[in-house]
């Protein structure tokens, strides 16, 4: 990709897409970091866990996600589920994304 300004702007945009994506999956079932990294990879986002974890943490402190620690084969794994505030944000974001998609798709 071209100049670093483009990269900077795209990174900002994608951050929003990634957060919507996280909310979508956290509504379906509790998610954890490594799973989400793989999921995003399949959708073309090359994001490291070092980038994703702070996003999960800030979404938790914003009250969009709630965290639960589970012991998985002797290791503590942090699972995130959507909160009711998160569901409201997801609904609103879905409507806005759909409206935008209809307008820009062609
Ligand atoms: Zn997905």
Write the DSSP string, 39-59: HHHHTT----HHHHHHHHHHH
CA 18 / ligand 1 centre spacing (Å):
9
Provide CB contacts within 8 A for 34, sequence distance 6+.
49
Look at the chain and report how many structural domains it folds into: 1
Span 1-42, pLDDT tens digits:
567 899 899 889 999 999 999 999 999 999 999 999 999 999
CA 71 / ligand 1 centre spacing (Å):
25
CA 43 / ligand 1 centre spacing (Å):
7
CA 66 / ligand 1 centre spacing (Å):
19
Would you state the structure tokens that stand for residue 94, as one six-digit string?
């879905």
Q: Is residue 80 part of a domain?
A: yes
pLDDT of residue 11: 87
Residue 22's H or E segment, with its range, is: helix 4-28
CATH number at 70 reads 1.10.10.10
């Amino acid at each position: 990709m071209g100049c670093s300004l483009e990269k900077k702007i795209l990174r900002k945009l994608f951050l929003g897409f990634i957060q919507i994506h996280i909310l979508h999956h956290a509504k379906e079932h509790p998610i954890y970091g490594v799973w989400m990294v793989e999921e995003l990879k399949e959708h073309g986002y090359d994001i490291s866990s070092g980038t994703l974890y702070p996003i999960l943490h800030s979404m938790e402190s914003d009250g969009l996600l709630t965290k639960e620690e589970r012991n998985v084969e002797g290791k503590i794994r942090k699972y995130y589920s959507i909160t009711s505030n998160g569901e409201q944000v997801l609904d609103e974001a879905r409507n806005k994304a759909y409206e935008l998609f209809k307008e820009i798709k062609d």
